[in-house]
Structure 1
Amino acid sequence: MDPEKKSVAKAEAHIARTHYQTIASSGKHAIIIDEPEDLNGGDTGMNPFELLLSSLGSCTVITLRMYIERKMWIVDEIHIELEAFAVPNGYLVESKVTFTGNLTAEQTERLLQITEACPIHKLLSGNVIIKTKVNNA
């Protein structure tokens, strides 16, 4: 193994003949990913874009919750809405975060900065290299 590489996660995806239903798994967890009916899927799960946005959203609110707990601020709920758009140079992701609790304007501004500390945010906005090989069965 390359000493420069540090594994942070492993996952697998499997598709058989059911139009485009895919089982994604990591460790002891599994979810169904599918395409909507208008793309000839069965609509039995989130599509890949929705799954990606859900990963970013969940990572963001978890990161925020960890920070809020360390600071001992009073926040009952954190809600995030995300939407991806195709734009001429690629994609744009817009998110809106809502806090339910007692926060000052300064605390809210700090939490906005913390949203960019989420590891998935860093992965998506950083330098990503994807290498694919064929694994002969």
Structure 2
Amino acid sequence: MDLQKKLITKGFAHIGREHYHTTAGSGKHTIVVDEPAEMQGTDAGMNPFGLLVSSLGSCTIITLRMYIDRKGWPVDEIQVDLAMYSITGGYLIERNLTIKGNLTEDQLKRLEQIADACPIHKVLTGSVMVETHLQ
């Protein structure tokens, strides 16, 4: 299939022999991804599902903060709590937002719409293709 591709970002992950301690990153930034002890990991970092929901959460509140700052709305703090579930036929991610500030109901409704416009939300709810190439 001939696709027109526009690079958004690059990432990497590396694992050695230690169960399942992984170094992952993008650009000059790295984190540890691991599995908990009950999965024979060392619990030195988030597991991949935790990393996925944390990506959604951080993208959501960054997107909201950008919008709020552009509008000049009085918001002191934004918190997002996420839970991921296995359901029949797929997965469900619940996202609960707490916004501390003096906002109207209309502003809060708009922020709920903006939360759904964050780029990671769009990736997770859109069409995603993964190509694997072995070197």
What number of residue pairs does the alignment pair up?
Answer: 134
Tell me the distance in 1 between the aligned counterparts of 2:95 and 2:118.
13
Percent of aligned positions that are identical: 56
Q: Cα distance, 1:18 vs. partner?
A: 0.6
Secondary structure of the residue that 2:51 maps to in structure 1? helix
Tell me which residue corresponds to 2:35.
Answer: 35
CA distance, structure 2, for counterparts of residue 119 and residue 8 of structure 1: 11
Distance 1:126 1:93 in 2: 14
Q: Take 2:25 and 2:61, find their aligned partners in 1: how far apart are those partners?
A: 22
Deviant stretches of 4+, over 4 Å = none
Ranges in structure 2 where 5+ consecutive residues have no aligned partner: none
TM-score by length of 1: 0.96
- Per-residue deviation at 1:4? 1.4
Q: The residue matched to 1:127 in structure 2 has which SS?
A: coil
User: How far apart in 2 are the matches of 1:66 and 1:90?
Assistant: 31
Q: Which amino acid aligns with 1:83?
A: A
TM-score, structure 2 as length reference: 0.97
RMSD: 1.0
Q: Structure 2 matches for 1:1-137, cutoff 5 A?
A: 4-135=4-135
- Mark the runs of 5 or more structure 1 residues left unpaired by the alignment: none
